[in-house]
Structure 1
Amino acid sequence: MFELDVRSRKPIYEQLQDKIRDLIVFGALQVDEQLPSVRTLSSQLTVNPNTIQKAYRELERQGYIYSVQGKGSFVAPPEHHPQEASREKLRTELLRLMTEAVFLGWTKREIDDLYHDAVKRQERGMPHD
């Protein structure tokens, strides 16, 4: 499914969250598609099951996935994600980055072009990496 960087300073559960979120946002995982079980993903990635569970729990809290008792975790419909708190966190980060870009001399045109590139990537299912 994907690889994690064990040398990264970013915690494994956050890397896992980011990877799954990207797969959902870019359409590689479809609505109501089942995610691998905690046990399966844990053995595939050789990661502690508690780490996988923590990532799944956070993604569920953010509205990207939902769980069905005894069945597993599934991709949530778009109207369930992102929650308002996630949107506000993203807005704050975008504002910080755009302020820095303006400070470094980026023009409105360059920022608009970047936005349009992001829309095209999302439509084509291309991740940001």
Structure 2
Amino acid sequence: MTEQAAALSRGTLADSSEKFLRLALKLDAVVTGLNGLAYLVAAPLLGDLFDMSTGLLRGIGIFLTVFAAAVWVVGTRPVVSSAGATAVVVVNAVWVVASLVAAVVGLDGASTIARVWMVMQAAVVGLFAVLQIVGLRRQRP
């Protein structure tokens, strides 16, 4: 009976860990997807507000929308792929660094509002990456 209880406990812990990672991935996908769609739909308005070209903003919107779909797929598979989740973390980390660099150098003549937005986005994406790393670590035996 003790072995069964231990196996059940491990199973419950594994389920809980996978649920945590799955939730972190799905939340990332939803927020990223909404952000991407906003860039696509509101590119002219955001271009004026951010002092950035609508072409660049639409390109960012396309990337974010496609990435969100990929993250959703990783988070909704019957078994969450560690490799897939790790790839999401890597892309998120690259996004954070690129956003901070863009904010510092003023990508495409970005306004102060755009630079603040870039830093805020970097913080949110960084939080997603941290949550996903925690979820991945919890999955390891």
- Could you tell me the TM-score, scaled by structure 1's length? 0.29
Of structures 1 and 2, the one scoring higher in RCO (CA 8 A, sep 6+) is 2
Larger radius of gyration: 2
| TM-score for the superposition, normalised by structure 2 | 0.28
